[in-house]
Amino acid sequence: MKYVLLFCGTAQDQAAFDALNPDDLRARYSEVGQWFARNRNRLGPSSQLQGPETATTVRFRVEGKPVVHDGLFLEAKEIVGGYCEVNVADLDEALEMAKSWPGGGTVEIRPVVDQR
Amino acid sequence: MREDDDRRGEAFVGAAPAPEQTVAAVASGFRDEAGRVTAALTRRFGDYCLADDATQDALLAALERWPKDGIPERPGGWLTTVATRRALNRVNRDARYEGKLAFLGRPIETGGDDRLRLIFTCCHPALARDAQVALTLRSVCGFTTTEIARAFLASEAAVAQRIVRAKRKIRQAGIPYRVPAGRELGDRLEEVLAVLYLMFNEGHLSTGHAPPFRRNLSEEALWLAELVSRLLPADPEPIGLVALMKLHLARADARFDASGQMVLLQDQDRSLWRRDLTSDAIRLIERAAAAGEPGPYQIEAAIAACHAEAASFINTDWPQIVALYDMLIQLAPSPVAQMNRAIALRYVEGPRRALDELNSLEADLTGYHLFHAARGEMLIELGEVELARAARERALRLSRNAAERHLMFRRLFESMS
């Protein structure tokens, strides 16, 4: 089955990440790199996203033109920091990958709609 | 399919018995057979949701037919036959299964017990707790939706909705049908035992007013825990849970008085306690301990055994109970365990120490009715009547169970007069 892992965090998680000193940041990236290397056989397209300050939101209204504004969707409690697609047998395997994620915060697992 | 199809090939025993007896027999037949039928069908069709629907259809058909026709000679065989037919009907209607039809020629294997897989699927941590409980009762114990609704005093529509949503999630999110292996097994077993203990407590707290026709959740939970301990003999924690449940049940007759009011441990008539269940439980605790892997349920059972063996409340081995709570807190730290330790400490070091310990837990337990009830008891003993009354008021406001509310109300009333 195919799932997407969404790597999320609260504003505090983001602030803590932004405050990492260069050594800690390097260590974190190295752990994350190892995680990707370890799981490469079951990973699909993956990306880390630029920070929330770079986000632009388009909001559709019932009537009228869509509204564009700076920043995240206001009601979002968690910020998506990145995602990856995984190809695994079942939810347990996806869970095992998510539990070993070294990046902290929260990992949301969503099955992908089967288009067949 | 015509209803008559269900009767073909299955012998019925004698004339139809009286309806009440039939209903009881039907229900107990379900408990022993439903899980096996669902497990066998899941193996055969490779789809838990399909198997569960088909088994449920067969149970409803049995509830309709058996009171009229009598109980079949082999209730399990009858249920399997009917459920298989229903499943095949569903498969034929559903294009999704086209490729799978080839597998269906295989006979249903009867060896081995597949119900453990069923239990682990129903209690998967990706499902909400109330859905885990409902699915387990339905798939493993053969409860109908109506019975689950009755047991939880919920509406049938709400329970049906909960089950539909949970099964959709099992299918769409790819929750596997298997017993987890290796390191995963420990965590997942913990989840299963938590579901069973919650189910037990749900039945246990409501026994005072349970109407006789209601299948008792505590008995179902005990039966399930015994099943898990039989199917996972190497793990001592399920045995600990069975022992703990038996010790609670041993006191069941003393927990409510003639008018249905809840009676606290210190006021219970100990001659009503069931010695047979207590000695069963103590044997189980010793058997579990032989594995040399203490766990939370084994320790809680040991604590309950201390109470069961005491001649009176005051002659209880309180230092031993405090020591057991220390072990429990070390293994599975929780504010509730710390609270219970503080309550036991009252009889070792006095109410002042106990109250100090309780107060240190305020931040974690401020929403828990029993925390305020315990504070109320300590404050009364220390002569702090005003504060005790405030604590008892909070306890009453926070408790939801009817029998407990009644007791809290009585306590509050006492501190007013």
- Encode pLDDT of B405-417 as tens digits: 788 888 787 777 6
pLDDT at A77: 80
Give the whole-angstrom CA distance, residue B327 versus residue B10.
55
For the cut 60, the answer to whether the pLDDT of residue B213 exceeds it is no
What pLDDT score was predicted for residue B20?
60
pLDDT at B1: 40
Q: What is the pLDDT of residue B376?
A: 95
* Helical axes B385-398 vs B402-416, angle rounded to 10°: 160
- Express each pLDDT in B128-155 by its tens digit: 999 999 999 999 988 889 888 888 778 9
Question: Which residues, in sequence order, are CB contacts of A43 under 8 Å at separation 6+?
Answer: A36, A84, A85, A86, A87
Q: Are the beta carbons of B364 and B372 closer than 8 angstroms?
A: no
CB-CB neighbors (< 8 A) of B178 in chain A? 92
Assign B103 a pLDDT band (cuts: 50, 70, 90): low
In chain B, what residues touch A91 (CB-CB under 8 Å)? 124, 126, 173-176
pTM of the entire structure? Answer: 0.82
**Position B406: which residue type?**
H
Write out chain A residues lying below 8 Å of B126, CB-based: 91, 95
| Residue A116: predicted pLDDT | 67
Q: CB–CB of B173 and A91 under 8 A?
A: yes
Quick one: pLDDT at residue B9? 42
3-state secondary structure of A79: strand
Summarised one tens digit per residue, pLDDT across range A39-68 is 999 999 999 999 888 999 898 888 888 888
Are A79 and A17 within 8 A, CB to CB?
Answer: no
Give me the pLDDT at residue B290, please.
95
Q: Which of A90, A109, A111 lies closest to B176 in CB terms?
A: A90
Q: Which residues of A touch B172 (CB under 8 A)?
A: 111
Helices then strands (H, E): number in chain B? 19, 0
What pLDDT score was predicted for residue B19?
60
Give the span between the Cα atoms of B210 and B58, in whole angstroms: 27
Partnered with residue A6 across adjacent β-strands are: A83, A108
pLDDT exceeds cutoff 80 at B22: no
pLDDT bucket at A17, cuts 50 / 70 / 90: confident
pLDDT band at B317 (very low <50, low <70, confident <90, very high): very high
**Is the pLDDT reported for residue B4 higher than 50?**
no
Chain A residue with minimal CA distance to B175?
A91
Please state, in angstroms and as integers, the Cα–Cα distance from residue B36 to each residue in A96, B30, B203, B369, following that order.
29, 10, 24, 40
What pLDDT score does B409 carry? 80
Query: Which residue on chain A is closest to B178 by alpha carbon?
Result: A92
Q: Is residue B21 predicted with pLDDT exceeding 80?
A: no
Residue B381 has pLDDT above 90, yes or no: yes
Put simply, the answer to whether B176 touches A94 (Cβ < 8 Å) is no
Residue B171, chain A, CB below 8 Å: the answer is no
Check CB contact of B187 with chain A, cutoff 8 Å: no
CB contact under 8 A, B176 and A95: no
Asked if B208 contacts B262 with a C-beta cutoff of 8 angstroms, the reply is yes
Mean local confidence (pLDDT), A70-95: 89
Q: Has residue B102 got a pLDDT over 70? A: no
Residue B297, pLDDT above cutoff 60: yes
Q: Which residue of A has its CA nearest to B181?
A: A92
Closest to B25 measured CA to CA, from B80, B77, B62, B78: B62
Reported confidence tier of residue B239, pLDDT bands at 50, 70, 90: very high
User: Mean pLDDT, chain B, as a whole number?
Assistant: 86
State both tokens at B94: 């559903």
pLDDT band at residue B71 using 50, 70 and 90 as cut-offs = confident
pLDDT (tens digit, 9 = 90+) per residue, B247-267? 999 998 898 888 778 888 999
CATH class of B334-417: mainly alpha
Question: Would you call A111 an interface residue with chain B, using a CB distance cutoff of 8 Å?
Answer: yes
* Residue B12: strand pairing partners: B72
pLDDT at position B208 is: 46
Chain A partners of B174 at a C-beta cutoff of 8 Å?
1, 3, 89-91, 94, 111
Closest CA to A103 of A23, A33, A22, A32: A32
Pairing of strands A106-111, A2-9: antiparallel
B181 to chain A: which residues are within 8 Å by CB?
A: none
Tell me whether A112 touches chain B (CB under 8 Å): no
> What pLDDT score was predicted for residue B5?
44
pLDDT at B302: 97
Instruction: Determine which helix (DSSP H) or strand (DSSP E) holds B204, and give its type and residue range.
Output: helix B183-205
Chain A residue at shortest CA distance from B169:
A111
Q: Distance (Å, rounded) from C-alpha B89 to C-alpha B98?
A: 13
What is the residue extent of each domain of chain B?
334-417
In terms of pLDDT, which residue wins out, A104 or B206? A104
* ipTM for the assembly: 0.83
Task: Give, for B288, the enclosing helix (H) or strand (E).
Answer: helix B275-289
